[in-house]
Amino acid sequence: MTVQGYDPRTGEPVGAGIAETTDLPSLLDAAAAAFPAFRSTPPSVRADFLTLLADRLDAAAGELVPLATAESGLPSARLTGEVARTSAQLRLFARVVSEGDYLEAIIEEADPGATPPRPPLRRWLEPVGPVLVYAASNFPFAFSVLGGDTASALAAGAPVLVKAHGSHPALSAATAALASRAAADAGLPPGVFGIVFGDEQGVRALRDPRVKACGFTGSTGGGRFLLGVANSRPEPIPFFGELGSINPAVVTPAAVAARAEELVSGFVGSFTLGTGQFCTKPGLLFLPAGHGLGPALSTAVAAASPGPLLNARIADQFETGLAGLASHPGVVASAAGSPAPSEGSWASPRLFTTTTGALRADPDGLTAEHFGPAALIVEYTGADDLLAALGAVEGSLTATVHAEPGDDFPLPELLEVLGDRAGRVVYNGWPTGVAVSFAMNHGGPWPSTTNSAHTSVGATSIRRWLRPVSFQSVPDELLPPALQAANPWGIPQRRP
Amino acid sequence: MTVQGYDPRTGEPVGAGIAETTDLPSLLDAAAAAFPAFRSTPPSVRADFLTLLADRLDAAAGELVPLATAESGLPSARLTGEVARTSAQLRLFARVVSEGDYLEAIIEEADPGATPPRPPLRRWLEPVGPVLVYAASNFPFAFSVLGGDTASALAAGAPVLVKAHGSHPALSAATAALASRAAADAGLPPGVFGIVFGDEQGVRALRDPRVKACGFTGSTGGGRFLLGVANSRPEPIPFFGELGSINPAVVTPAAVAARAEELVSGFVGSFTLGTGQFCTKPGLLFLPAGHGLGPALSTAVAAASPGPLLNARIADQFETGLAGLASHPGVVASAAGSPAPSEGSWASPRLFTTTTGALRADPDGLTAEHFGPAALIVEYTGADDLLAALGAVEGSLTATVHAEPGDDFPLPELLEVLGDRAGRVVYNGWPTGVAVSFAMNHGGPWPSTTNSAHTSVGATSIRRWLRPVSFQSVPDELLPPALQAANPWGIPQRRP
- The packing angle between helices B76-99 and B148-156, to 10°, is 20
In a domain, B438, yes or no: no
In a domain, A432, yes or no: no
In a domain, A441, yes or no: no
Give the pLDDT score at B183.
98
Q: Which residue of A has its CA nearest to B99?
A: A496
Chain A positions touching B439 (Cβ under 8 A) are 106-108, 121-123, 470, 496
Q: Is A22 helix (H, G, I), strand (E, B) or coil?
A: coil
* Residue B62: band (very low, low, confident or very high) from pLDDT cuts 50, 70, 90: very high
Q: Lowest-confidence range among A282-286, A339-343, B87-91, B466-470? A: A339-343
Give the pLDDT score at A143.
98
Q: B290 with B323, same domain?
A: yes
Q: B238 with B256, same domain?
A: no
Examine the pLDDT at B398 and tell me if it is beyond 90: yes
CA atoms of A345 and A496, how far apart (whole Å): 58
Instruction: Look at chain A and report how many structural domains it folds into.
Output: 2
Kindly give, in sequence order, each residue whose CB lies less than 8 Å from that of residue B382, ignoring residues fewer than 6 positions away: none
Kindly give, in sequence order, each residue whose CB lies less than 8 Å from that of residue B489, ignoring residues fewer than 6 positions away: B42, B43, B100, B481, B482
* CB A112, CB A194: distance < 8 Å: no
Q: B336 with B219, same domain?
A: no
* Residue B251: band (very low, low, confident or very high) from pLDDT cuts 50, 70, 90: very high
CA atoms of A131 and A238, how far apart (whole Å): 10
CA atoms of A431 and A278, how far apart (whole Å): 9
Across the interface, whether the CB atoms of B470 and A423 are under 8 A apart is answered yes
The beta-carbon neighbor of B443 closest among A111, A459, A468 is A468
Region B488-494: what's the mean pLDDT?
97
B262 touches chain A (CB under 8 A): no
Chain B positions touching A36 (Cβ under 8 A) are 416
Give the pLDDT score at B52.
98
* Residue A371: band (very low, low, confident or very high) from pLDDT cuts 50, 70, 90: very high
CA atoms of B422 and B434, how far apart (whole Å): 14
Q: Is B242 helix (H, G, I), strand (E, B) or coil?
A: strand
Q: A56 with A205, same domain?
A: yes
Q: Which residue of A has its CA nearest to B101?
A: A496
Across the interface, whether the CB atoms of A88 and B115 are under 8 A apart is answered yes
Give the pLDDT score at B240.
97
Chain B positions touching A473 (Cβ under 8 A) are 426-429
Q: A227 with A206, same domain?
A: yes
Q: Which residue of A has its CA nearest to B456?
A: A468
* Residue A181: band (very low, low, confident or very high) from pLDDT cuts 50, 70, 90: very high
Helical segments of A220-355, H only: 220-232, 253-272, 294-303, 312-326
A368 touches chain B (CB under 8 A): no
Q: Give A56-85 pLDDT, tens digit per residue.
A: 999 999 999 999 999 999 999 999 999 999
CA atoms of A455 and A478, how far apart (whole Å): 33
Q: Give me the sign of the Cα torsion angle A189, A192, A198, A202.
A: positive
* Residue A115: band (very low, low, confident or very high) from pLDDT cuts 50, 70, 90: confident
* Residue A38: band (very low, low, confident or very high) from pLDDT cuts 50, 70, 90: very high
Q: Please state, in angstroms and as integers, the Cα–Cα distance from residue A33 to each residue in A28, A129, A157, A158, B135, following that order.
A: 8, 10, 13, 11, 40
Q: A27 with A97, same domain?
A: yes
* CB B233, CB B151: distance < 8 Å: no
Kindly give, in sequence order, each residue whose CB lies less than 8 Å from that of residue A480, ignoring residues fewer than 6 positions away: A124, A126, A471
Q: B255 with B219, same domain?
A: no
* CB B387, CB B252: distance < 8 Å: no
In a domain, B432, yes or no: no
Q: Give A141-162 pLDDT, tens digit per residue.
A: 999 999 999 999 999 999 999 9
DSSP string, B48-60: HHHHHHHHHHHHT
Kindly give, in sequence order, each residue whose CB lies less than 8 Å from that of residue B326, ignoring residues fewer than 6 positions away: B333, B352
CA atoms of A153 and B290, how far apart (whole Å): 45
The residue segments making up the domain with residue A153 are: 2-243+450-494
Phi and psi at residue B277, to the nearest 5°: -105, 35
Examine the pLDDT at B334 and tell me if it is beyond 90: no
List, edge to edge, every strand of the sheet that includes A493-494: A493-494, A105-108, A121-127, A466-472, B422-427, B396-402, B248-251, B284-288, B374-380, B350-355, B332-336
DSSP-derived secondary structure letter, A299? H
Q: B144 with B271, same domain?
A: no
* CB A76, CB A65: distance < 8 Å: yes
Q: A100 with A211, same domain?
A: yes
Q: Is A429 helix (H, G, I), strand (E, B) or coil?
A: coil
The beta-carbon neighbor of A108 closest among B424, B438, B470 is B438
DSSP-derived secondary structure letter, A394? P
* CB A412, CB B478: distance < 8 Å: yes
Is the link from the previous residue into A116 a cis peptide, with omega within 30 of 0? Answer: yes
- The packing angle between helices B43-59 and B148-156, to 10°, is 150
The beta-carbon neighbor of B474 closest among A231, A427, A475 is A427
Domain boundary residue, one of B368, B392, B427: B427
B156 touches chain A (CB under 8 A): no
Across the interface, whether the CB atoms of B437 and A118 are under 8 A apart is answered yes
Region A267-293: what's the mean pLDDT?
97
CA atoms of A246 and A446, how far apart (whole Å): 11
Q: Please state, in angstroms and as integers, the Cα–Cα distance from residue A173 to each residue in A21, A147, A298, B271, following that order.
A: 11, 14, 42, 54
The beta-carbon neighbor of B438 closest among A464, A472, A496 is A496
| Chain B closest-CA separation from residue A475 CA (Å) | 8
CATH number at residue B253: 3.40.309.10
Sort strands B466-472 and B121-127 into parallel, antiparallel or unpaired: antiparallel
CA atoms of B232 and B258, how far apart (whole Å): 54
B496 touches chain A (CB under 8 A): yes
Q: B397 with B458, same domain?
A: no
A16 touches chain B (CB under 8 A): no
Element (H, E) at B255: helix B253-272
In a domain, A235, yes or no: yes
Give the pLDDT score at A139.
97
Q: Give me the sign of the Cα torsion angle A454, A460, A461, A465.
A: negative
B61 touches chain A (CB under 8 A): no
A473 touches chain B (CB under 8 A): yes
A406 touches chain B (CB under 8 A): no
Give the pLDDT score at B115.
84
DSSP-derived secondary structure letter, B449? B
Region B373-377: what's the mean pLDDT?
98
Give the pLDDT score at B257.
98
Is the link from the previous residue into A75 a cis peptide, with omega within 30 of 0? Answer: no
In a domain, B303, yes or no: yes
Q: Half-sphere exposure of B458 toward its Cβ, with a 13 Å CA cutoff?
A: 24
Q: Which residue of B has its CA nearest to A462?
A: B453
| Chain A closest-CA separation from residue B351 CA (Å) | 26
A254 touches chain B (CB under 8 A): no
Q: Give B70-89 pLDDT, tens digit per residue.
A: 999 999 999 999 999 999 99
CA atoms of A242 and A245, how far apart (whole Å): 9
Examine the pLDDT at A19 and tell me if it is beyond 90: yes
The beta-carbon neighbor of A435 closest among B118, B452, B469 is B118
Give the pLDDT score at A478.
97
Average pLDDT of the residues of chain B:
97
Examine the pLDDT at B175 and tell me if it is beyond 90: yes
Examine the pLDDT at B333 and tell me if it is beyond 90: no
Q: Supply the pTM of this predicted model.
A: 0.97
* Residue B116: band (very low, low, confident or very high) from pLDDT cuts 50, 70, 90: confident
Give the pLDDT score at A28.
98
Kindly give, in sequence order, each residue whose CB lies less than 8 Å from that of residue B319, ignoring residues fewer than 6 positions away: B347
CATH number at residue B15: 3.40.605.10
Across the interface, whether the CB atoms of A238 and B469 are under 8 A apart is answered no
Examine the pLDDT at B270 and tell me if it is beyond 90: yes
Give the pLDDT score at B130.
98
Region A225-250: what's the mean pLDDT?
95
In a domain, B439, yes or no: no
DSSP string, A128-170: -S-EEEE--SS-TTTTSTTSHHHHHHHHHT--EEEE--TT-HH
Longest distance between any two alpha carbons in chain B, whole Å = 78
DSSP string, B7-42: -TTT--EEEEEEEPPS-HHHHHHHHHHHHHHHHTS-
Phi and psi at residue B458, to the nearest 5°: 100, 170
Q: B121 with B107, same domain?
A: yes
Q: What is the predicted ipTM?
A: 0.97
Kindly give, in sequence order, each residue whose CB lies less than 8 Å from that of residue B159, ignoring residues fewer than 6 positions away: B31, B32, B34, B35, B38, B129, B130, B131, B153, B191, B192, B193, B194
- Cα of first residue to Cα of last residue in chain A, in angstroms, is 57
In a domain, B140, yes or no: yes
Phi and psi at residue B455, to the nearest 5°: -105, 150
Q: Give A246-261 pLDDT, tens digit per residue.
A: 999 999 999 999 999 9
Q: A266 with A386, same domain?
A: yes
Region A178-190: what's the mean pLDDT?
98
Average pLDDT of the residues of chain A:
97
Q: What amino acid occupies position A324? A: G
Chain A positions touching B446 (Cβ under 8 A) are 235-237
Q: Please state, in angstroms and as integers, the Cα–Cα distance from residue B216 to each residue in A134, B120, B137, B420, following that order.
A: 30, 39, 11, 23
* Residue A334: band (very low, low, confident or very high) from pLDDT cuts 50, 70, 90: confident
A445 touches chain B (CB under 8 A): yes
